[in-house]
Amino acid sequence: MIRLDCPYCGLRDHEEFSYIGDATKRRPAHGGEASAEEWFDYVYIRDNPRGPHQEIWQHIQGCRAFIRVLRNTLTHEVTATGLPRDDLSGKAGVGS
Amino acid sequence: MRSPRSLIPSVLLPRRAEQPYRLEEGGAINRLAPLPFTFDGTSYNGYQGDTLASALLANGVRLVARSFKYHRPRGIYSAGPEEPNALVELRSGGRHEPNTRATTIELFAGLEAKSQNRWPDLTLDVMQVNALLSPVFVAGFYYKTFMGLPGWRFYEHFIRKAAGMGIGTTLADPDSYDKMHAHCDVLVVGGGPAGIAAALAAGRSGARVTLLEESDALGGRLRSDRETLGGAPAMAWVRSAEEELDSLANVTVMTRTMGFGYYDGNVIAAVERVSDHLATPPAFAVRQRLWHFRTKRVVLATGATERPLVFANNDRPGVMLASAARSYVNRFAVQPGKRAVVFANNDDGYATALDLSRAGIAVHALVDSRPGGNPDLQVRAEAAGIECLTGSAVIGTRGYLALHSVDIAPISADGRSVTGNAFNLSCDLLAVSGGWSPNVHLHSHSGARPVYDPAIAGFVPGTPRQAERSAGAAAGSFALADCLRDGAAAGAEAAGLLGFDAKPIEAPVTELRGAKPLVALWQVPGSGKKFVDLQDDVTAGDVELAHREGYISVEHLKRYTTLGMGTDQGKTSNINGHAIMAEARGEPIEAVGTTTFRPPYNPVSFGPLGGRDIGRHFAPTRRSAMHDWHAENGAVFVEAGQWLRPQYYLRDGEENVKSDFDRAITREVTGTRAGVGMVDVSTLGKIDVQGKDAAEFLNRLYINGWKTLAVGRARYGIMLRDDGLVFDDGTTSRIGENHYFMTTTTANAGAVMSHMEEYLQIHWPELDVKIVSVTEQWAAMALAGPKSREVLAAAVEGLDVSNEALPFMGVRETTIAGAFARVFRISFSGELAYEINVPADYGRLVWERLMEAGAAHGIIPYGTEAMAIMRIEKGHVAGGELDGRTTADDLGLARMASSRKDYIGRHMMGREGLTDAARPKFVGLVPVDGKTRARAGSILVADPSTPPPVPKLGHVSSSAYLSPTLGHPISLGLVEGGMARAGETVWAMYPLRDEAVEVRIVDPVFYDKEGERLHA
Amino acid sequence: MAEYSALSLLRHALTGHRDWRRAWRDPEPRKSYDVIIVGGGGHGLASAFYLAKNHNVGRIAVLEKGYLGGGNTGRNTTIVRSNYMLEENAHFYEKSLQLWEQLSQELNFNVMFSQRGVTNLAHSDAQMDAFARRGNAMRLNGIDAELLDRKQVRREMPYLDFSENARFPIYGGLKQPRGGTARHDAVAWGLARGADRLGVDIIQNCEVTGFKLEGNRITAVETSRGDIGCGKVGFAVAGHTGHLAARLGMKLPIESHVLQAFVSEPLKPLIDTVVTFGAGHFYVSQSDKGGLVFGGDIDMYNSYAQRGNTPMIEHVFSAGLAMIPSLSRLRVLRHWGGIMDMSMDGSPIIGKSPIDNLYLNCGWCYGGFKATPGSGWVFAYTIANDAPHELNAGLNLERFRRGYLVDERGAGPYPNRH
Amino acid sequence: MPDSATPMPLRRSALAGALRPGDHGARDYRGPGLIIAERHPLSMVQIEVRPDGVQAMLDAAADALGLRPPESFNTSVGNGLPRILWTGPNRWLVVEPESRDLVAMLRDALAPTNAAVVNLGHARVSLRLSGREVRRVLMKAGPLDWHETAFTPDKCAQTALFHVSALIDCREESTFDVYVARGYAVSFLESVEQAAAEYGYRVG
Ligand SMILES: Cc1cc2nc3c(=O)[nH]c(=O)nc-3n(C[C@H](O)[C@H](O)[C@H](O)COP(=O)(O)OP(=O)(O)OC[C@H]3O[C@@H](n4cnc5c(N)ncnc54)[C@H](O)[C@@H]3O)c2cc1C
Ligand SMILES: NC(=O)c1ccc[n+]([C@@H]2O[C@H](COP(=O)([O-])OP(=O)(O)OC[C@H]3O[C@@H](n4cnc5c(N)ncnc54)[C@H](O)[C@@H]3O)[C@@H](O)[C@H]2O)c1
Ligand SMILES: Cc1cc2nc3c(=O)[nH]c(=O)nc-3n(C[C@H](O)[C@H](O)[C@H](O)COP(=O)(O)O)c2cc1C
Ligand SMILES: [Zn+2]
């Protein structure tokens, strides 16, 4: 069971969360004139790294907040959690 | 508690009371509680404290199984979960359990066990012929043959019959299971000396400690070895330690609980065998329980497993592990034989020989493969009259159904060759020890990799990957004193790391023995079948064959020969097999490596993993506020996700059979269209949306515009995903200045809520919008039909429901039966209709009030079937059309899209693939013959006679076997060209039923195209 | 090399099987190859086999970082079927199924392809309609399919839960009689032996770590055993495609997720077909060794670990017991995981890449074992002709940008929902 | 909603007919291990504000309710008249036995703070679980640390109990108020009863 530290609810099973995915993807601004290529990149393209990965989870069974998690995709070790806009890069732990 | 005897059917009452191999005294058994049991139909007696294995041995039963492939006679080989041979079918009927290890079954009165994988019985098992064919049935032989006619399916039939072991029942299990979630600071796995010491050290510091022990009691090897601690028998120390642990409120000791898997987040899963030691679980008790331990630190004190020596015919009944032989004499007071030979490459042999002779077993020889053996211990053995043969080995055994003698010869120092003449020594017990392998299973589960330690010729824990440390034999330290010290240190360290002040405990002094290291002996010279994996009949020869054929990686070796793939997962065999491969490759074992241990540590029943989430409770059930009314009024319910919804209502005298429910559905449609009907729509998703930017938010969510919607008005909307495909639809009403009430489809209620939360929390946090799901707050009912206004008028309190006052798409608040009600004049059925929302606790009250008010107009409740037919008649899209693959344009809804704003999906919906003219588009379909239904799921094609592959024009997405309104079947579908082909005919193909229906493409709105009824 | 047959088996028995030769050679990598296939799973080996067999390409190497078949090929629940609805998938998977039907003979290696039938259970009218649409499309494509009603399902699988107690009653099912299972390891070994006999160099313990580029061409692959020159390169690395492509600065519409599988203790024949639950995630068949082999859904989070976690494990067992209550006292023997290459529409990507001489074979999700021979067959064609075969033309990389998605489930661009 | 002046019709609980008063399951000389009681009818109102409006809202709420909503996450305050629970960032739930038009009252009181005030009074059922084995029953139900040193009075939390989203509020060492969505009420009660059967339970 991966254990995620919700900034509001504390350490909880990942089963309480729903996985949203890569947190580094920024949605092109609403009303902006982003190119088709930018939209394609946002919707379809993923770095899919083997190692530290910043990702978004929603605490769906808890406070319903979306949180950002830095997790190693190779070891499943979670080294940092924060709010969606926090930048967690650099907080990668031993596992990476 | 019922007395054991009262449980026993008279047929089981003991016929042969005496247990010829039971010692007069000693052992941790209760001689006052004899327990009758049967094996292969014969009745025996054992004692409380026995395992099935010890009880069988006490009764002189040595042949208990047949091997997997060659059906060789096999006996009891171990005294623990590592048992490769003695697998039996336990219990009967719905409680039948195949492949159960006799060595871990706690004996209970009336126990029934049968041998397996033999026919007709153990002694004359006809499949023994396989043994004759064994020269052909080598590893992987089946990959090289059975390829020709009549084909694999033919051969497979026989192979499968021969393979497998126990027989699985098809009867339902009468017992129940559940789950527990626990948290602790320190979890200690294993209740031997190391684990006990760890629990004491951590427990005394005040940390929350749990100690898990798989077997029925603490003690580990101490239950079986004649160790002393502080001058007294070691078990006395165990008992006092147990008392102290019980006295500590912060410590929990759980026996009969196996930690079977070490998962991420330092979570250990365990199974508690709550009632397996009883004939049946007591009332309200479960059979087994799954535990999740969320831990801060883990101490793995799981001990070590002794391994066999690999020599010719090392599998006969009577050959067993030395540690097992000691368990049987010391713990169970059973003689596993009368005349023994002990064969070891380490000091264990001496302790074993002494224990056996102390138990009155004639030890004919102690064979120590080490040149020179261990002189100190040899002195003691010889003092006890035991002849010690060092630098020698057992190179073969004799006997068939049971061992009757062994061949012994001197071997070279490197153990590779026989250096002198063999001689034969009679015996019925051969105790072997090839050294010990630490139980690194959970350590491996946690993601860590064990490393090879030549000192013990075994794999020991590597660098921990999680908050874990191994201790005692599990860490490769085998001397009792070391185990205690190591365990205590590990426990103290774990608590210390968590900020508890833990002091190391003083370990009691142990009896010191001049220990001498083992000398690895992986394969004993000599010819004959040398079994490495007893369960899967993998021999040293098979390992060498795998090497010859290039399956030289330990992983290929495993898969090609099935080494270590049996129910024991190679606990006794892996290391020997890998070492023999290493020798063949001429590489060191560390270079060859080992395979991965995966959960579970020992096999786990499915039951506890399912817990109570099975059968009716596989998923929770969701009911509307009017559920009971529906049930009382003949509703037949259907699952809609987790909801139960009325599908149709049967009347007295009607059965739930097609003819009757077709009548009911037609009745509900015509009743509604002609007069008035009411349907429960509480399951629709409902979301309360508030905030200064609410309108802006809706404008971004939906493809159509929302800025102009006035308070008191509702509007239909379509949502896309960012990829430009349709996500969901529904109506949203403006109920206040900055206050909206949104509805979603039943299926997408949860998804839409999360979708909106994601945009608000992540993409557009600047918007002042607050949303909350109010699906459960409101009971919702749709009142539909030309008479609906009269009914509503009669029910509402002081609200003008005239067309002027409450026009189509109008929203008003009122009370009905005194309850607050929100009335939406919207329609799914195509009739004049109102959706009425009331606080759920008033749902039934208001429903009944409306029914009462409608009685005069012959109001009829209708279910999902009638609702579906009416929406098809009206050409509304629903699940069949909103399948995640359609665009707004495919569904004829593109005109709704606003060109003057940005919205989710806008930027990708224009991609060529989504605007391709060839895309099927939404249409209505009617049978040309006016009577044959084109079923949902039919494929639309131009010419029914085209041979496959047939070009496809589209498909039928929804269909009504009969539109009571139009008097013929109708369907909705998507077809290439869409309405541009109106009037043309195509064929709806349903080859699964050999149906082909010619259908005409028509407007999807079959009913009241101008919407007069809606606006009436 | 010696043919495998009952006779040769008997002959070798007389000599104690001392004369069997290696199933495939263990060559040192050469300086360069015409085609290098990265990945020694079923797809990579099949690609090499068909390149040599159908397109007589000269020097071919398969580079495998670990042991052959140690990836998803060696971890999967071995279900083989071609019951797809969408054109792009249907014809491709049917071709693959046809190749399966002759694979043992073609390889002279028994891959134990057992056509025991595959049935997907339906638990609502809507699900029956969806299955009907798929089954009708299959039949119109000339692929076998049968729609079973509740009674027929009960006749074939009486052990399913037909009691009042079932939370989601069984309405019926869609059956493909020609579907079934195969022995996963044998597939890898048979293909390796077959390719080896055609001169393909199969090089294990050789990890590709980087690439040498000239312009838009790969001139050599860097490996743990040194650089190896290449004419063309094909990726068949499944879950590892993402980070391998990253070495070329290429990003893909793929996420790697862990999917778990389970095996029970060995039993005498109990379940003689393949059946999947429709109200939860569970599918089961019985291996020739007697173990029930079963699985469920992916764990939902990106992962390169070959281990899963308890939530999906528990779901699998409750779903399994909801479907077949009598499994309750059987025991699970082992469970493990594999790394799924989940694509953004749930269908594979097999064709050309933005790099001139690089070809992609990935995005197989939970369904690529059944594709093994077909994938190798079309991938070999694509590499040899530098153009896709019509069978894989629709499964190209460009479809995501252009909007020609192949989304069987309609789940959208969320890899963990396919 | 009509204000308290107009008499409200009788509310029908989602558990009407499902609660079987009396003792069930195993018998224990110490009496039933779990006591199950429904709390009904309740007023439940959710308050949500923008981050910038929190303090103003807390002040206004304190005035209106005579009780300041808790600022620390996953805690609850009050003797029940009313009880206020933190349920998420900038989000609270006010609960009291139904006696007045709480929604209207709060809407007026909080209007200046731009808070969203939503009536959830019928959206959830609330069970009071108490007794000797209540924490063991909760251990069967959900993944939180139910230990008396960890889940103490005036702590509240949200998680899934028996796979149903639930809000749990610890009132006393052996007393918990549990809230689940109304539609799941009966199914949830069945699960609680199954889990409690081995300890014996009383429906009061
Ligand atoms: C649990 C599970 C159940 C499944 N069930 C089914 C099923 O029932 N039916 C079905 O059809 N499909 C199923 N699948 C999917 C199927 O197993 C895969 O799609 C298929 O086996 C992929 O084969 P492959 O050859 O492409 O990949 P793999 O077999 O994974 O081979 C890829 C190989 O590439 C190697 N590699 C990776 N990186 C490098 C590198 N840098 N250098 C060299 N070598 C490298 C890997 O070591 C690996 O051996 C399942 C998968 C899993 C995990
Ligand atoms: N003579 C030798 O060479 C030799 C070798 C090894 C061990 N020993 C003796 O064995 C003892 C070792 O002490 P120890 O405490 O390290 O090991 P142990 O074998 O005494 O105790 C381990 C205990 O852990 C339990 N266990 C194992 N896996 C478990 C799991 N997953 N879940 C729950 N319980 C589990 C076992 O049932 C066992 O009771 C010492 O007395 C030592 O002298 C002697
Ligand atoms: C179809 C299939 C059947 C399997 N049957 C068994 C089995 O009978 N016994 C066993 O120990 N493992 C069995 N395994 C699992 C393997 O032992 C192993 O766990 C799997 O190949 C993954 O490799 P790994 O665990 O070494 O990572 C089976 C695997 C598959 C794919
Ligand atoms: Zn939270």
3-state percent helix, strand, coil for chain D, nearest multiple of 5: 25, 35, 40
Q: Quick one: pLDDT at residue A95?
A: 42
Query: What percentage of chain C exceeds 90 in pLDDT?
Result: 99
Contact criterion met (CB below 8 Å) for C207 and C160: no
Entry pTM: 0.97
Residue type, D138: L
Count CA within 13 A, CB hemisphere, residue C88.
18
What are the φ/ψ torsions at residue C50 (nearest 5 degrees)? -75, -25
What's the average model confidence in pLDDT over B559-585? 98
**Residue of B768, B706, B694 whose CA lies nearest to B738:** B694
For the stretch B594-635, pLDDT in tens is 999 999 999 999 999 999 999 999 999 999 999 999 999 999
| C393 in reach of chain B (CB within 8 A) | no
Average pLDDT, chain C: 97
d(CA C231, CA C217): 9
List, in order, residues 6 or more apart from B975 with CB less than 8 Å away. B920, B921, B923, B925, B940, B953, B954, B981, B986, B1001
Q: Do C310 and B143 touch (CB under 8 A)?
A: no
**Residue of B77, B65, B72 whose CA lies nearest to B318:** B77
| B620 in reach of chain D (CB within 8 A) | yes
d(CA B390, CA B94): 53
ipTM: 0.97
Residue B222 CB coordination number (10 Å)? 23
Q: Are strands B778-784 and B677-680 parallel, antiparallel or unpaired?
A: antiparallel
For the stretch C76-89, pLDDT in tens is 999 999 999 999 99
Chains that touch A (3 or more CB pairs under 8 A): B, C, D
Q: Quick one: pLDDT at residue B5?
A: 41
Residues of B in contact with A58 (CB under 8 A): 754, 757-758
Residue B16 has pLDDT above 60, yes or no: no
For the stretch C368-413, pLDDT in tens is 999 999 999 999 999 999 999 999 999 999 999 999 999 999 999 9
Residue B482 CB coordination number (10 Å)? 19
Q: Quick one: pLDDT at residue D55?
A: 97
Query: For ligand 3, atom 19, which residue shows the shortest CA distance?
Result: C336
Residue type, B368: D
Q: Quick one: pLDDT at residue D100?
A: 95
Q: Do A3 and B723 touch (CB under 8 A)?
A: no
Query: What percentage of chain B exceeds 70 in pLDDT?
Result: 98
Q: Do D140 and B208 touch (CB under 8 A)?
A: no
For the stretch B940-974, pLDDT in tens is 999 999 999 999 999 999 999 999 999 999 999 99
Q: Quick one: pLDDT at residue A91?
A: 82
Least confident of B148-152, B504-508, B680-684, D60-64: B504-508
For the stretch B249-305, pLDDT in tens is 999 999 999 999 999 999 999 999 999 999 999 999 999 999 999 999 999 999 999
Q: Do B936 and C74 touch (CB under 8 A)?
A: no
d(CA C159, CA C169): 14
| D75 in reach of chain A (CB within 8 A) | no
Per-residue confidence at A93, pLDDT binned at 50, 70, 90?
low
Give B385's DSSP letter. Answer: T
d(CA B649, CA B861): 7
Residues forming beta bridges with residue B440, ordered by sequence position: none
For the stretch B442-482, pLDDT in tens is 999 999 999 999 999 999 999 999 999 999 999 999 999 99
| D1 in reach of chain A (CB within 8 A) | no
Closest ligand to the CA of B558: 3
Residue type, B666: T
Residues forming beta bridges with residue B995, ordered by sequence position: B990
Query: For ligand 3, atom 22, which residue shows the shortest CA distance?
Result: C75
Report helix angle B574-585 to B540-548, nearest 10. Answer: 40
List, in order, residues 6 or more apart from A24 with CB less than 8 Å away. A47, A54
Contact criterion met (CB below 8 Å) for B168 and C326: yes
Closest ligand to the CA of B349: 2
Give B291's DSSP letter. Answer: E
Residue B6 has pLDDT above 80, yes or no: no
Of B147, B549, B991, the CB nearest to C20: B549
Per-residue confidence at B17, pLDDT binned at 50, 70, 90?
low
**Residue of A15, A9, A38, A12 whose CA lies nearest to A25:** A38
CA B988 from centroid of its chain's CA atoms: 42
Query: For ligand 2, atom 39, which residue shows the shortest CA distance?
Result: B220
What are the φ/ψ torsions at residue B759 (nearest 5 degrees)? -65, -40
| D201 in reach of chain B (CB within 8 A) | no
Tokens of B535: 């369960």
List, in order, residues 6 or more apart from C371 with CB less than 8 Å away. C43, C92, C93, C96, C348, C364
Give B327's DSSP letter. Answer: I
Query: What percentage of chain B exceeds 90 in pLDDT?
Result: 94
What's the average model confidence in pLDDT over B553-577? 98
For the stretch C200-257, pLDDT in tens is 999 999 999 999 999 999 999 999 999 999 999 999 999 999 999 999 999 999 999 9
List, in order, residues 6 or more apart from B36 with CB less than 8 Å away. B8, B12, B13, B14, B43, B44, B45, B109, B110
Tokens 């097992």 — which residue? B324
Q: Do B620 and D187 touch (CB under 8 A)?
A: yes
d(CA D13, CA B870): 32
Q: Quick one: pLDDT at residue B18?
A: 86
**Residue of C193, A5, A14, D103 whose CA lies nearest to B264:** A14
Residue B632 CB coordination number (10 Å)? 8
Count CA within 13 A, CB hemisphere, residue B418.
17
**Ligand 3 neighbour C333 (Cβ under 6 A):** yes
Residue B908 has pLDDT above 90, yes or no: yes
List, in order, residues 6 or more apart from C82 with CB less than 8 Å away. C90, C93, C94, C96, C97, C138, C143, C176, C178, C179, C370
Query: For ligand 3, atom 5, which residue shows the shortest CA distance?
Result: C263
Question: How far, in Å, is the centroid of ligand 1 from the Cα of C38?
Answer: 12
Residue B10 has pLDDT above 50, yes or no: no
Per-residue confidence at D7, pLDDT binned at 50, 70, 90?
low
List, in order, residues 6 or more apart from C320 with CB less than 8 Å away. B606, B610, C277, C282, C284, C294, C327
**Ligand 3 neighbour C133 (Cβ under 6 A):** no
**Ligand 3 neighbour C306 (Cβ under 6 A):** yes
Task: State the Cα torsion B685-B691-B692-B698 to the nearest 10°.
Answer: -10
DSSP string, B889-918: TTTT-GGGS-SSS--TTTTTTTSHHHH-TT
Q: Quick one: pLDDT at residue B511?
A: 77
For the stretch C154-200, pLDDT in tens is 999 999 999 999 999 999 999 999 999 999 999 999 999 999 999 99
Query: For ligand 3, atom 1, which residue shows the shortest CA distance?
Result: C77
Contact criterion met (CB below 8 Å) for A63 and D87: yes
Average pLDDT, chain B: 96
Helices (H), B856-890: 864-874
User: Is B253 strand, coil or helix?
Assistant: strand
Which protein residues have a CB closer than 5 Å to ligand 4 (ion)? A 6, 8-9, 59, 62-63
Contact criterion met (CB below 8 Å) for B317 and B403: yes
What's the average model confidence in pLDDT over C136-150? 98
